[in-house]
Amino acid sequence: MMAVTEKVEGAVGELPTDETGLLLHYLRAHDAVCPLCKYNLRNLTVPRCPECGRGIRLVVGLVEQVLWPYVMLLVALVLPAGLGLIFWIGLLCIGAEIYRHMPVLLILTFVLCMVSPFLAVGAVIYRKEFLRLSPEAQRNLAGAAAVLATVAYGALFLAILNL
């Protein structure tokens, strides 16, 4: 590959254009720790941590990576999803006959919880798309999932109290 001549933070010379060369060039003048074992990688000569033996690569990361809306979304969907899977198993084993004599609140809980496994799987599959949404849209979706979980468990609690 061709090398580019640039001035980089006081260093003059050829700046490599390949990923490994850029990584090693950067580590000649900077302290950076291995993401796994926290060993200082300064003056590294190969793209592998000498302490733990894991490969090291150069990556670009977000400065302000905010994952709490995604975590909140997953928690809010997985909690009723576990109950929903139990309800699905019951429905498949016993049949729809079980719904005939249930209070409306309990049926609402069943429906909300039975939808949650599909929503949770969708949240995992479409994680990247979720993270590309605006922060406001992420918070709104996470809040909606939290409301879904709260309504599901609230309806279950009220139904149990009324039984």
What is the tens place of the pLDDT at every residue in 89-130?
888 888 777 777 777 777 888 888 889 999 999 999 999 999
State percent of the chain over pLDDT 70. 88
Which residues, 6 or more positions from 108, have their beta carbon under 8 angstroms from its beta carbon?
151, 152, 155
**pLDDT for the residue numbered 36:** 85
Q: What is the mean pLDDT of the chain?
A: 83
pTM (2 decimals)?
0.57
- Here the tokens at position 76 are 């809010």
User: Best-predicted range by mean pLDDT among 18-27, 82-91, 97-106, 142-151?
Assistant: 142-151
DSSP 55: B
Mean pLDDT of 138-157: 90
Mode of pairing for the β-strands spanning 11-15 and 4-8: antiparallel
Q: Which comes out higher in pLDDT, residue 159 or 25?
A: 25
Instruction: Tell me if residue 8 falls in helix, strand or coil.
Output: strand
Q: Which residue has the tokens 């969708």?
A: 122
Within 41-103, residue ranges assigned H as helices are 68-94
Rounded Cα distance, 66 and 100, in Å = 45
